Structure 1
Amino acid sequence: MNLSQATIPVTIILVPQGAEYQAICRGINQITSRPLPLILSIPIGAEPVTQYLETWLKTTTNFPQHSLPKVLVMGLCGSLSPNYSVGDIVVYNDCVAIDRNQDRPQPLVQQCCSQLTSLVQQQLGNKANSVGDSGYDCAPLAPQFWGEQNSKSPPKLGDLGGLSKTKPTRIHTSMGEQNSQSPPELGDLGGLSKTKPTRIHTSTQQRQANLVRGLSSDRIIWSSSEKRQLGQSYQADVVDMEGFATLSVLNPKGFAVAMVRVISDDSDYNIPDLTPAISADGSLKPFPLAMGMLKQPIAATRLIRGSLRGLKVLQQVSIRLFS
């Protein structure tokens, strides 16, 4: 069968809790022409997602070795390179982890399944020009940082993780609701005295599925200068908090894993440092979250706007992959 005519053979989608999970559910819920994949809401961060997946593997039905489920990791990510901007679709070739062992000559690397990755990239490449904006008329919980989903108890196979119960949730910030037609004035942002409008792709023709190297961090990379430095040091294009850990658990078990993410913040600007808002179990602490956003309102507004754009694309990507 030609790759362009093939159906993505994914049976499980892993997606960070909160807005990303809800966006995927909204997209998948529009598909009626084929069996739906199981959607699992995973926690934020390497250690929580490792514990979650290890527990899930122990408690779920034993999989026959000859027919292990094919897994697709989806969600948002940050750009480490000026080549990738808000709204860009990326497909991971491999993933490295920030290495605290300074004596190690090479970074730790986990490969995605090349065959499944090629199929996903081909499917997105064929349909990239059809990916459009679904148009949120309100701000759903923006990326991982406004999540309400509980990831502590892995669902059983067959449970679509609340697929039919999700709906957009409106958020309010201290600055009031943002008018999507009127970008805020850009002032000083974390020591950057001069700023320029964030590049956000709105043309569907601009959205191509780029093959990238992902970098997984144990904390939020909020500084634009650190983003660029890490991108150069690890030869990585984007950053997340779950990719490497997911591959480290599932690859040794023989699962075929591919990763598709959409960029929600680029490398030109700082975002709020929300690391203190992430608890040890991968859930969020509301008060530190609110304080982190209020301390940097302009950066917070930019993060929310970029996240909304990324979520729109993410929802459409899920439709295109599985319809």
Structure 2
Amino acid sequence: MPTILVPQGAEYAAVCRGLNRVTGKKPHVVPIPVGIKPVREYLQKWSKTKDFGNEIKPGVLVMGLCGSLTQQYKVGDIVLYQDCMYQQQVQQCSHILNAHIQSTVKIVKSLTSDRVICSATEKRYLGETMSVDVVDMEGFAVLDFFKKMGIEVAMLRVVSDDSHHDIPDISAAINPDGSLKPLSLALTFIRQPIAATRLIRGSLQGLKVLEQVTQLLFSEG
């Protein structure tokens, strides 16, 4: 049973709620920060702890939300990563773990970004020019880190914003350590109320599906 890594906050809470409905053995869940640099720093520190080897030995499953970069993937869609790109580098996800997860889940190519992609125009541009389907802010960092250790990594995420609409630029609300600034986030939402409402609605829908897929995945396992 792989260890689950999931961005801290609402995504972590959704995964934990899903697991609370599972009877029997449950996977170890670790909250990680948002963003490439904070994730790398976190994993480096974690890898130096005495419990690290035991916790990640069976492999790693990254769960959470992602954004769509094409018209094909809509809010609420569950996607399983084939690979992850960052700055022209590509890391493959585990074929072994994917084989255990894959059924009717959609297989996608992903992009990891070091900033929030908030413009619908930019989303579609990235999707078309880089031949990727979804975007997140942690995936490549996790894959790159564990590949060097020979540890299998799979990524299962839920789409929470589509490629048709802008979302608020919440970059200023993310601390250097990958945590969120609640006040800055609220001010950003106030300045862009329509986009904020859309983002919140999509996130809530995505989190509900994330909770459900967590329960389903580990109830079967």
TM over 0.5: yes
Residue 62 of structure 1, CA deviation: 5.7
Distance 1:237 1:53 in 2: 26
Q: Which has the higher contact order (CA 8 A, sep 6+)?
A: 1
Residue 114 in structure 1 maps to residue 95 in structure 2: yes
2:117 maps to a residue whose letter is I
* Structure 2 residue runs without a partner (length 5+): none
Q: How does 1:88-167 map to 2 (within 5 A)?
A: 88-97=77-86, 99=87, 107-122=88-103, 125=104
Residue 270 in structure 1 maps to residue 204 in structure 2: no
The percentage of aligned residue pairs carrying the same residue is 55
Residue 228 in structure 1 maps to residue 124 in structure 2: yes
TM-score (norm 2): 0.96
Q: Which has the higher strand share?
A: 2
2:203 maps to a residue whose letter is S
Contact 2:70 2:163 in 1 (8 A): yes
Partner SS state of residue 63, structure 1: helix
Distance 1:274 1:71 in 2: 28
Partner SS state of residue 75, structure 2: coil
Residue 285 in structure 1 maps to residue 181 in structure 2: yes
Decide which of 209, 213, 219 is 1:313's aligned counterpart.
Answer: 209
Q: Deviations over 1:152-196 (max 9, x none)?
A: xxxxxxxxxxxxxxxxxxxxxxxxxxxxxxxxxxxxxxxxxxxxx
Contact 1:68 1:254 in 2 (8 A): no
Q: Which runs of 4+ in 1 moved over 2 A?
A: 60-64
Q: Deviations over 1:215-259 (max 9, x none)?
A: 000010000000011111211000000000010111110111100
Distance 2:160 2:10 in 1: 12
* Structure 1 residue runs without a partner (length 5+): 1-8, 100-106, 126-208
Distance 1:233 1:50 in 2: 27
In structure 2, the residue matched to 1:218 is 114
Count of aligned pairs between the two proteins: 218
Q: Which has the larger radius of gyration?
A: 1
Residue 322 in structure 1 maps to residue 218 in structure 2: yes
Residue 299 in structure 1 maps to residue 195 in structure 2: yes
Contact 1:20 1:311 in 2 (8 A): yes
Distance 1:61 1:80 in 2: 38
Partner SS state of residue 59, structure 1: coil
Contact 1:215 1:238 in 2 (8 A): yes
Residue 119 of structure 1, CA deviation: 1.2
TM-score (norm 1): 0.66
